[in-house]
């Protein structure tokens, strides 16, 4: 079944905890990020009932009330290197990332979010 290898990176590292597909291990908690910074997101996938066809990556600035799509990536590469931290109108302290595994029928195979919040700083 699809799998990735967790790597410690400056930004986010999603690693096994959740037997439904993915889990967060190191997620940028306590870190402050700035608009236009590029932050990698990595994850590891557990065994899934079906093959992962795509991965949907999201972020929230408000503790999970609204999730904005970062990107949809084909297959399950275990790594996304292209997230550019978005600008914010004020410093946001309740930010998280979420990764959703999807099969070829569009069914969700697994999902997990950051356990702790990180900050996106406002810059003038």
Domain boundaries, the chain: 12-120
Quick one: pLDDT band at residue 21, thresholds 50, 70, 90?
very low
Q: Is the domain covering 12-120 a CATH 2.60.40.10 domain?
A: yes
pLDDT for res 90: 97
The band of 60, judged by pLDDT with boundaries at 50, 70 and 90, is very high
Q: Which residues contact 59 (CB under 8 A, 6 or more apart)?
A: 67, 68, 70, 83, 86, 95, 96, 97, 98
Per-residue confidence (pLDDT) for residue 122, from 0 to 100: 95
Using an 8 Å Cβ cutoff, are 59 and 95 in contact?
A: yes
- Segment (H or E) for 40: strand 38-43
Q: Are 70 and 61 in contact (CB under 8 A)?
A: no
Proportion of the chain above pLDDT 90, given as a percent:
39
């Amino acid at each position: 079944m699809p799998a990735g290898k967790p790597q410690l990176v400056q930004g986010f590292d999603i690693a096994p905890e959740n037997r439904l597909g993915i889990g967060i291990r190191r997620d940028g908690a306590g870190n402050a990020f700035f608009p236009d910074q590029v932050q990698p997101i990595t994850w590891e996938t557990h065994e899934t009932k079906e093959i992962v066809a795509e991965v949907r990556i999201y972020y929230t600035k408000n503790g999970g009330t609204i999730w904005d799509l970062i990107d949809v990536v084909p297959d399950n590469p275990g790594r996304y290197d292209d997230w550019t931290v978005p600008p914010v109108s004020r410093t946001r302290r309740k930010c998280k990332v979420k990764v959703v595994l999807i099969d070829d029928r569009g069914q969700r195979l697994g999902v997990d979010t950051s356990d702790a919040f990180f900050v996106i700083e406002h810059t003038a």
